[in-house]
Amino acid sequence: MSKTDKKATVVIVGGGIAGLAVGNFLLRKGISCIVLERHSRDYVEQRQRAGALDAGGVRRLREWGLAEVVEGHSRGDLDSGVPLLIEGERRQWKREDDSEDVDGVFCPQQILVQNLIKVFLRDGGDLRFGAEDVSLHDIDTEHPLVRYRDAGSTTTISCDFIAGSDGFRGVSRTAVPDDVLTCSTHEFGYAWLTVMTEVPADPPAVLAVHSRGFAAQITRGPSASRLYLQCPLTDTIEEWPDNRIWHELDARFGEPVPLKGPITSKQVVPLRGVVFSPMSYGTLYLLGDAAHLISPMSAQGMSLALHDADVFARAVVQRVENHGSGLLESYSDTCLDHTWQRQAAAVWLTETMHDSGNPSYEGEFRKQIARKNLANMLERPGAGTLPPRAVDPLPQSPESPAVSTR
């Protein structure tokens, strides 16, 4: 059975942070949109991922009248900085942006998703879970179509624009011709063992630089936290039984972790940065992880998604209200400029934190350079997101991971 649905100004493919933000932004301006999500509501609302939102992300939500979705979440007791353990010696790292008049927050992604869904549906938004086999058609024309399957029937929606926010493995980006899209990638050469545990983090974030490798514990709500342990790319979860994880965290923190408890999931995640360009093609616009991945060390994934959503929504509003296309035409350049700025900071921060520890990955020379950068960072309060001018990171050698294109 097939049917043609009503036309929407925007069809949003993907119900993650970027897609739900766009939906809420447009809804507040009275612009018709439909959000398609292939998973169930329960799955989406329980998906554990990022846990931090920077000041820019919070400000964007407030500007669109969505402050309520982060109410009750705060920076924690971070006025004096995030605890950073260097070979067991406790330091405080202040990561601030004096240009912002609001603070960032610790807010687990699933909580922000739950809140964005609740507000979108409460305000009359059209959100369709279980939308399978989504496909995009005629995106190089002014009359694109989105087709999906639901409960045995196929639905076709006509629209003016498509927001492709269905993640790195989604279908949206594959709709862009291969000879148009370029992928640039940086591989860091190591991975994180990421571990979900039913143990609260107090304080909300603790980082550690150690000769055994980088480690961290970050809050994921009042009764859960995620652990991170730097490890070789070749490691498998079978090599990391629960008792080894807790022992290794104790060693890298330089002191026993106060609380230990059940571990619910483990995954080995290679650290890398990825940027696709352009972020638009015809009437399709890529947002969030569909367009870029950033090192998790930067804690910028959700904030980048909100930036893309903000730029795209403003562009659509301009087109609908003023018939102007300038913001839509500049969408890709605007978002890529911001993305590359964040990628540059993320690479510097990731290498500083990781190269400072275990020299088996990049060698003793890089370790000493990273230690000097780390010392300078700690001596300059609020400088934790940009490299200091005095000590620049080394350029890539021919043997180091390079930027690749296709």
Which run of H or of E encompasses 156? strand 153-164
Measured CA to CA, the distance from residue 26 to residue 7 in angstroms comes to: 15
267 DSSP β-pair partners:
194
Q: Hey, which bits of 165-258 come out as E strands? A: 182-197, 205-209, 215-219, 225-231
Residue 106 lies in a domain: yes
331 in a structural domain: yes
Q: Give the count of domains, the chain.
A: 1
Tell me what pLDDT residue 389 has. Answer: 35
Nearest to 192 by CA among 219, 227, 239, 220: 227
pTM across the whole model:
0.88
pLDDT at 80: 53
In DSSP notation, 261-329 reads: --EEEEEEEEEEEEEEE-SEETTEEE-GGGTEE--GGG--HHHHHHHHHHHHHHHHHHHHHH---HHHH
Question: In the chain, what is the greatest distance between 2 CA atoms, to the nearest angstrom?
Answer: 66
CA distance 345 to 177: 30
Question: How many C-beta neighbours within 10 Å does residue 52 have?
Answer: 24
| C-alpha dist (Å) from residue 40 to 5, 102, 167, 387 | 21, 34, 16, 42
CATH of the domain at 45: 3.50.50.60
pLDDT along the chain (406 residues), means of 10: 80 97 98 97 83 87 94 54 90 64 76 95 97 97 95 93 97 96 97 95 91 93 91 97 97 93 95 98 98 93 96 98 96 98 96 96 96 88 46 31 33
Question: Using alpha carbons only, what angle is made at residue 320 by residues 317 and 321, rounded to the nearest 5 degrees?
Answer: 80
- The reply to whether omega before 177 is within 30° of 0 (cis) is no
Question: For position 52, what pLDDT does the model report?
Answer: 78
The reply to whether 134 falls in a domain is: yes
Q: Angle CA(157)–CA(163)–CA(166) in degrees, nearest 5? A: 100
Q: What would the two tokens of residue 56 be?
A: 């820019």
Domain hosting residue 12, numbered range? 2-80+102-183+273-343
Q: How far apart are CA 319 and CA 46, in angstroms?
A: 35
User: Is residue 264 included in any domain, yes or no?
Assistant: no
117 domain-assigned: yes
Instruction: Look at residue 390 in the predicted model and tell me its pLDDT.
Output: 32
pLDDT of residue 203: 85
Supply φ then ψ for residue 252, to 5 degrees. Answer: -75, -30
pLDDT of residue 388: 41
Q: How far apart are CA 390 and CA 372, in angstroms?
A: 10
The answer to whether position 400 is within a domain reads no
Asked whether residue 64 is domain-assigned, the answer is yes
pLDDT at 380: 64
pLDDT score recorded for residue 55: 87
Determine, yes or no, domain membership for 386: no
What's residue 11's pLDDT?
Answer: 98
Q: What's the one-letter identity of residue 354? A: H
User: Residue 229 is encoded by which pair of tokens?
Assistant: 């342990």
